[in-house]
Structure 1
Amino acid sequence: MFKNNITLKDQALFEKYICSYPYKTSGLTFTSLFMWRHLNEFKYEIIHDFLCISGINHLNMNYKEFFVLPPLSIKEYNTHKLSLAIDEIKNRFEEIGHPFNIKLLPKHMIETFKKANPNLNFTPDAANFDYVYLAEDLIGLKGRKLHSKKNHFNYFMRNTPHKYVSLTDQLIEDCLRLNTRLLESKDYTSLEAHLIDLEQMAVYEALKNRKALGAYGGAILINDQVEAFTLGAKLDEETMVVHIEKANTKFRGLYQAINQQFCNHSCIDVTYVNREEDMGLPNLKKAKESYRPIKMIEKYDGTFNK
Structure 2
Amino acid sequence: MNTEGLPLTLALRGEIEDRMRAQRAAWGEQTPSEYAFSNLYLFRHAHDYRYFPGPLPCVAGVTYDGARHVLPLFDPRLLAWRELAGVLGSHDCLFPIPAQALDGVDANKFCWDDSPADADYFYPAENFRGYRGELLRKKRNLMQQLLAAHQVTARPLTDDTAADALAILDAWLRGKQKQPGEADDSACREALALRRHFGLDGLVYYADGLPAGFLLAQPFTPSVAVMRFAKGDDRYKGIYQYMFHHYCAANSDLRWLNFEQDLGLPNFRQTKRSYQPAAMLRKFRVRLRA
Structure 1 length-normalised TM: 0.83
In the alignment, structure 1 segments of 5+ residues that lack a partner are: 94-99
1:195 CA drift (Å)? 6.2
The within-5 A match list for 1:36-115 is: 36-47=43-54, 49-57=55-63, 59-60=64-65, 64-69=66-71, 71-73=72-74, 77-80=77-80, 83-91=82-90, 93=91, 100-112=92-104, 114-115=105-106
1:186 CA drift (Å)? 5.0
Structure 1 residues 292 and 187: CA distance shift in structure 2, 3 A: closer
1:6 CA drift (Å)? 2.1
1:122 aligns to what? 112
One-letter amino acid of the counterpart of residue 241, structure 2: Q
1:177 CA drift (Å)? 3.0
Distance in 2, matches of 1:87 and 1:153, equals: 52
Distance in 1, matches of 2:60 and 2:210, equals: 39
Is 1:150 paired with 2:140?
Answer: yes
1:182 CA drift (Å)? 2.1
Structure 1 residues 156 and 4: CA distance shift in structure 2, 3 A: same
Aligned residues: 283
> What is the CA RMSD across the aligned residues, in angstroms?
2.4
CA deviation map 1:169-197 (0-9, x unaligned): 23323323322332235567xxxx69627
1:131 CA drift (Å)? 1.1
Instruction: Give the fraction of aligned pairs with identical amino acids, expressed as a percent.
Output: 22
2:256 aligns to what? 272
2:21 counterpart (14, 19, 22)? 19
1:295 counterpart (275, 279, 289)? 279
2:210 aligns to what? 225
CA deviation map 1:190-218 (0-9, x unaligned): xxx69627x32211221111112111011
Q: Is the 8 A contact 1:156 1:254 kept in 2?
A: yes
In the alignment, structure 2 segments of 5+ residues that lack a partner are: none
Q: Is the 8 A contact 2:56 2:87 kept in 1?
A: no
1:19 is paired with a residue whose SS is helix
Distance in 2, matches of 1:138 and 1:85, equals: 41
1:196 is paired with a residue whose SS is coil
Distance in 2, matches of 1:194 and 1:55, equals: 24
One-letter amino acid of the counterpart of residue 137, structure 2: H
Distance in 2, matches of 1:214 and 1:2, equals: 30
Q: Is the 8 A contact 1:50 1:85 kept in 2?
A: no
CA deviation map 1:227-279 (0-9, x unaligned): 211111111111111110111222221111111112222x3222111111111
Higher alpha-carbon deviation: 119-128 or 239-248: 119-128
1:50 is paired with a residue whose SS is coil
Structure 1 residues 162 and 88: CA distance shift in structure 2, 3 A: closer
The within-5 A match list for 1:154-193 is: 154-185=144-175
1:282 CA drift (Å)? 1.4
